[in-house]
Amino acid sequence: MYAKCGAIDAAAKVFDHLHVKDQVSWNTMISGFDQNGFSKQSLSSFCLMIHNGPKMDGFTFATVLSACASIAALDSGMEIHAFGIRSHLETDVVVGSALVDMYGKSGRIDYASRVFESMNSRNEFSWNSMISGYARHGNGDKALKVFREMQQWGQEPDLVTFVGVLSACSHAGLVEEGSKYFESMKNHGLVPQMEHYSCMIDILGRTGKLNEMEDFIKKMPVRPNNLIWRTVLVACRRSKDGAKSGIWKQASEMLLELEPENPVNYVLISSMYAYRGRWEDVAKTRTAMRTLPVKKEAGRSWVTLHDGLHVFVAGDRSHPNTEEIYAKLHVLIQKIRDAGYVPQAEFALYDIDMETKEELLSYHSEKLAVAFVLTRSCRVPIRIMKNLRVCGDCHSAFCYISKIVGRKITLRDCNRFHHFENGKCSCGDFW
């Protein structure tokens, strides 16, 4: 009860005072931590259960794999996978589905596919995890192929299925296919929810069809919410003609009306003003944002190596190896410049001189993270996680870096995975 009500500390106190902890109480505590956003504590509880608790079941493994998926803890997920095999639970459909989800969210879509193909039976979660996994990695065609196989197997799609399908169309720029699948929802007795409308707006916005996007919004049978307007604003910021479209102004006004205390909205609006060179409006927006009770989440990038987790923020100089990291980064930037990289100053959202803008771009958190990994002699795969969307300048830089250093680089931002290799990204510069 405490866990489901969000009072996780109270739940933990009750759990600690139990004289006898059975399978149900351990599973409840592990899932309670995970559902309340404490994935690391969920993993810790799982480790304690291994040493002190009763025998684990499929629910235990599925829950802790969900915790691994939440924080993209690939190494921990693989260890739990091995433990599940030793416990003879790898054939359990719930465990198998959780493995597909974990590998897909942790950057190994190839492992997710292997587990999925080896499953003797699949439920809706198995299919949905594979479809959304391919969508998250930009493999739109594969996602749609799995969707067609799902129907051939007689598994009826649900609302979650169509979020994955429409997301796949969005990330791959499949406008006609997206429209077709959106319309087909009624054939399955499904009524589109706000998430499905948002996906359609994203499909139209990503492909620069802003007029069609505006018409689509006008015809929606439901009143657009904050998710819809935020998708509109992101689409306008991404499109070259977005600043010319009047709908971005409407989206800005509606977001401030619906969510006046959400700092993300102010960041998006400020970005649009900066893109148009309206620096006074940028200053006003940032001043308003500083008065909010909730502050903007700082952009962070992190990598996990054999010696633990290393976290970076833009311009960060707190790492013990700062001097070595910055020296490597300066050399790296010069090499990619020589190879043709040109800093995209429009992503430095400040009214400052060009040289300073380029310097600020050089110190973005993901660039510091990749420079840090390259200071290490080991040839481990370069896997970087970021809590916000990667900017266009860093995306361009990573294409050049992958070619210069001859290494594959996986970058996960808040939207999807980018796999850089030999100067190209798996998203085809469409994300």
117 pLDDT above the threshold of 80: yes
For residues 12-33, average pLDDT: 92
Task: Supply 213's token pair.
Answer: 């996007």
Closest to 15 (Cα-Cα) out of 40, 41, 37, 166: 41
**CATH 1.25.40 domain residues, the chain:** 1-121, 193-296
User: What DSSP designation does 377 have?
Assistant: S
- pLDDT of 236 reads 84
For residues 115-122, average pLDDT: 94
| Domain 1-121 indexed as CATH 1.25.40 | yes
Closest to 158 (Cα-Cα) out of 183, 116, 124, 133: 124
Q: Which amino acid is at 26?
A: W
| Domain 193-296 indexed as CATH 3.90.220 | no
Q: Is the distance from CB of 205 to CB of 231 less than 8 angstroms?
A: yes
Beta bridge partners of 412: 385, 417
Give CA–CA dist 10/2, Å, rounded.
Answer: 6
Give CA–CA dist 402/248, Å, rounded.
Answer: 35
pLDDT, one tens digit per residue, over 379-403 is: 777 999 998 889 888 999 999 999 9
Pairing of strands 382-386, 417-421: unpaired
- pLDDT of 349 reads 62
pLDDT band at residue 241 using 50, 70 and 90 as cut-offs: low
Give CA–CA dist 45/8, Å, rounded.
Answer: 13
pLDDT band at residue 178 using 50, 70 and 90 as cut-offs: very high
Greatest CA separation for the chain: 67
Which SS3 state, helix, strand or coil, does residue 388 take? coil
Which SS3 state, helix, strand or coil, does residue 394 take? helix
Give burial (CB, 10 Å; 0-12/13-18/19+) of 55. Answer: exposed
Q: What is the value of pTM for the model shown?
A: 0.84
- pLDDT of 129 reads 96
261 pLDDT above the threshold of 90: no
The residue whose two tokens read 């803008």 is: 357
Task: Supply 268's token pair.
Answer: 């998006």
